[in-house]
Structure 1
Amino acid sequence: MQQTVYEVGKNLYINLTNRCTNRCSFCLRENEDGYKGYDLWLDREPSVQEVIEAVGDPKKYKEIVFCGYGEPMMRLDELLEISRVLKSKGARVRINTNGQANLIHGRNVVPELAGLIDAVSISLNAPDAERYVKVCDPKFGERSFDAILEFTAECKKYIPDVTLTVVNVLSPEDIERCKAIADKLGVGFRVREYER
């Protein structure tokens, strides 16, 4: 049975798609079949109704997080529709994203998230465009890096809790440079554990 939602700690995660615009060298999907015992490869993308039913009562969880084996913002319309329903039931909703949604959709989509998304966690994972291309192999090439910074700045206008993240495979110097970017943008910063 395909894993549309999965629990980790006090949060429930929604696995909306396996499509992604990056092929990050450290990404679990490049190296592992699953995560914490869950098989996150989808036979097909779940419908809005299937996701809502799978979540059940969202108030049972600290947060509902869009994060699976893919970039959740690839399915923006579905993400918005699901968020609307979950928010009406009292959920706190977060998106974990690579920050390329505006490139994916060819427009600034961030205003559409206002009032529906409480927190966004954006993977930066490199201190500059050249390094980002090496580490993340983005479909959009070097312009991805600036697009992520622009997306982050836009999120700050509409979403209460915005955090840039890096994986701890980076050098301490690169992590410091990434933190300086977060500080300059006035958003949170977190170093994530590399998980195998």
Structure 2
Amino acid sequence: MIKAMNISYEIGDKLYLNITNKCPCNCTFCIRHNGDGAYGSDPLWLEHQPTAEEVIDNIKKRDLDSYKEIIFCGYGEPTCELEILKETAKYIKSVTKTPVRLNTNGLSDLINKRETPAEFKGLVDIISISLNASDAKAYDEVTRPSFKGVNCFEEMLSFAKRVKEFVPEVMLTVVDIIGEEEIKKSQAVADSVGIHLRVREYVD
């Protein structure tokens, strides 16, 4: 396993922030199974868990105004380091108007052992939550969460519904490899909670 400190990386006109490698899930389609980077980036395995100061020092070298979006998304679940995420987002908001997006599995409450939706208010403009499947059984099979005895599917949907009150734009996502029938069912789930569904292309 190659390890470095690629805390931020560019894809097109967007800047991605790789603030942790921790994740409570082991999704069957996770890009971590395919290599060390994402979409041609340098390796994203971190040599150590960066502090908020290290993350902020890293992005100070970037022209934040030049990006279409700044996205918390790397080789881990960003809410595993929620305080670092919040401190970094607060800094970003103080220096640029570029929108901030969080890509998450929606299990922040379980990870942090408290209700967290309100903590994103004023710090994140868009939250993209991995729906992954249309019911709890399929979700567990695809996502393989480490939380035992918990309905992670319902926890994720509950987070999505509550965070809508604090973040301007919230979406649920699925990967196109789950098939048309499952996508239709996922659309129905998204409709039931009044949240837009985005179908992501799986990149091998």
Q: TM-score range by the shorter chain?
A: over 0.9
Percent of aligned positions with the same letter in both sequences?
A: 44
What stretches of structure 2 of length at least 5 have no aligned partner? Answer: none
1:150 maps to what in 2?
A: 158
Uncovered stretches (5+) of structure 1, i.e. residues with no partner: none
Q: For residue 31 of structure 1, report the CA deviation from its aligned partner.
A: 2.5
Aligned to 1:49: 53
The AA in structure 2 aligned to 1:164 is: L
CA positional deviation for 1:112: 0.8
For residue 36 of structure 2, what is the aligned residue in structure 1? 33
SS state of the match for residue 53, structure 2? helix
Is 1:189 aligned to residue 197 of structure 2? yes
Among 89, 95, 98, which residue is 1:83 paired with? 89
Partner of residue 188, structure 2: 180
Residue 93 of structure 2 aligns with an amino acid whose one-letter code is: K
Correspondent of 1:7 among 6, 10, 33:
10
* One-letter identity of the residue aligned with 1:124: L
- Taking the aligned partners of 1:37 and 1:59, their CA distance within structure 2 comes to 21
Name the TM-score, length of structure 1 as normaliser. 0.96
For the Cα contact (< 8 Å) 1:23–1:30, is it kept in 2? no
CA contact (8 A) 1:62 1:92 kept: yes
Q: Conserved in 2, the CA contact under 8 Å of 1:48 and 1:78?
A: yes
Deviation string, structure 1 residues 122-170 (Cα, Å, up to 9, x no partner): 0011101101111111011451100000000011111001010001110
**Is 1:67 equivalent to 2:37 in the alignment?**
no
1:117 is the counterpart of 2:124: yes
Query: 1-side partners of 2:189 and 2:108: how far apart?
Result: 19
User: What is the rounded CA distance, in whole Å, between the counterparts of 2:92 and 2:36 in structure 1?
Assistant: 29
Q: How far apart, CA to CA, are the structure 2 residues paired with 1:130 and 1:68?
A: 26
CA distance in 2, matches of 1:84, 1:147: 26
1:18 aligned residue: 21
CA deviations over 1:79-125 (Å, ceiling 9, x no partner): 10111110111231110000000011111111011011100000011
Q: Matched residue pairs, number? A: 196
Give the corresponding residue for 1:102. Answer: 109
Asked if structure 2 preserves the Cα contact closer than 8 Å seen for 1:99 and 1:148, the reply is yes
Return the letter of the residue paired with 1:144. Answer: C
| 1:150 aligned partner, one-letter code | S
Q: Quick one: distance in 2 between partners of 1:195 and 1:79?
A: 26
1:37 Cα deviation from its structure 2 partner: 3.4
Asked if structure 1 preserves the Cα contact closer than 8 Å seen for 2:132 and 2:175, the reply is: yes
Distance 1:176 1:15 in 2: 32
